[in-house]
Amino acid sequence: MPVSTTVPYTLTRLGVLMAPDPAEPFEAAGVLNPASGRTPDGRLHLLPRLVADGNVSRVGLAEVELRDGVPVGVRRHGVVLAPDEGWERGLNNAGVEDPRTTWVPGLGRHLMTYVAYGPLGPRLALAVSTDLRSWRRLGPVQFAYQPDLDTDLNLFPNKDAVFFPEPVPGPDGRPCYAMLHRPMWDLGWFRPGEGVHLPAGTTDERPGIWISYVPADEVHADITALARPRDHRVVALSEFPYEELKIGAGPPPLRVPEGWLLIHHGVTGYAPSGWDPTTQRVEYAAGAMLLDPADPARVLARTAEPVLAPDTEDEKAGTVPNVVFPTAIEEVDGVRFVFYGMADTKIGVARLDHTP
């Protein structure tokens, strides 16, 4: 059954919400790619990635200021997560990067996925919180071995992980907490000459969106089970010109009448090996897809063109030029807003509209 290219949602940019404060050394190299959530008193907050000199990232907390129901600025409340653990640091690098948070009512917690930039490069990690301020690490993600893939997902760098906000049907029909993520198959960055190692059944080496599951009853018995997902499978790979190099999930999936709305990013251009973003000559644009509520590994529709592409000066000039990188969605007075990184330097906000 062919996938539709009609996704009835659009993004309208509203401007810059947060820019680096010259008086804050932790922000010297940028504020970007925020998570989001509400504190117990109902106040809306962002959890931006704060980048200090030396490309060392921390996760901050900033309350969103509203004017007539529209986000217009932030008030900073310091750092809530730093690369304090040994596995979040290497000899010449460190960072907790690109947080994504999902409020999970069934668990009564915010669930944060983030990238721990440790000795072996970017790996996924989890933390949980009830108030956005104090976070309990669940540790690095430990992907269960799956014989039919003929590989070990724990070998590979991984990014762009987000959880669904409620249990979804797993492969066997059981209610599961599900995580989208993006493995990267090229190991040449770590062991020169090693190259690409694809799992069985995969022929496209470009990084794409995968899904893994944890049965809900196991999570309710022991929340650390979230860090041990299994039943891994592909959701989507690059398909359209604006996704030529790779794709990855953006904000946590949003339940809409048509299914699960996933705003994602697609990348074109040239990205050399290694993890220094300043060496890239790329463009990041935002697309959208709808996932099947009965089987969230199945794509019902996806946009053949971006719903947001770099256009303003703030999106076209920065640490990594030509980047819009959506990472959070929040609703204010019935209107949904998407928060996104701008050129790896600032944070922008756009309004999400339904277009029947």
Segment 96-110, tens digit of pLDDT: 999 999 999 999 999
* Assigned domain for 291 exists: yes
Element containing residue 216 per DSSP (H, E): helix 216-221
Number of Cβ within a 10 Å radius of residue 192: 9
Report pLDDT for 230: 98
Q: Per residue in 203-248, pLDDT tens?
A: 999 999 999 999 999 999 999 999 999 999 999 999 999 999 999 9
* Strands 346-354 and 230-236, sheet pairing: unpaired
Measure the CA–CA gap between 203 and 235, rounded to whole angstroms: 14
Please check whether residue 4 lies inside any domain of the structure. no
Helix, strand, or coil (residue 52): strand
Query: Which residues, in sequence order, are CB contacts of 66 under 8 Å at separation 6+?
Result: 44, 72, 332
Q: Could you tell me whether strands 254-256 and 281-292 are parallel, antiparallel, or unpaired per DSSP bridges?
A: unpaired
Per DSSP, helices labelled H in 222-334 are 313-316
Residue 316 lies in a domain: yes
Place of tokens 């990348």: 267
Question: Measured at the alpha carbon of residue 268, what is the angle toward residues 236 and 9, in degrees to the nearest 5?
Answer: 55
Question: pLDDT by residue (tens digit) across 169-194?
Answer: 999 999 999 999 999 999 988 788 99
Specify the pLDDT at position 281. 86
| Domain presence at residue 1 | no
Tell whether 99 is covered by a domain: yes
3-state helix, strand, coil split of the chain in percent (to 5) is: 10, 55, 35
Q: What is the pTM of this model?
A: 0.96
Token digits for 11?
A: 């993004």
Mean pLDDT of the 262-289 span: 85
For β-strands 259-270 and 281-292, DSSP reports them as antiparallel
Residue 2 lies in a domain: no
- Determine the Cα–Cα distance for residues 131 and 174; give it in Å rounded to an integer: 30
Q: Is the confidence at residue 273, as pLDDT, over 80?
A: no
| Joined tokens for residue 174 | 């059981």
Distance, C-alpha 176 to centroid of its chain: 20
Number of domains in the chain: 1
Encoded amino acid at 224, one letter: T
Asked if the structure places residue 156 within a domain, the reply is yes
DSSP string covering 185-211: -B-TTTSTT--B-PPTT----S--EEE
Domain span holding position 350: 9-354
For residue 276, what pLDDT is reported?
64
pLDDT tens, position by position, 46-73 = 999 999 999 999 999 999 999 999 999 9
CATH number at residue 164: 2.115.10.20
231 in any annotated domain: yes
Say whether pLDDT at 277 is over 70.
no
Residue 356 pLDDT: 81
- Asked if 109 contacts 129 with a C-beta cutoff of 8 angstroms, the reply is yes
Q: Is the pLDDT of residue 278 over 80?
A: no
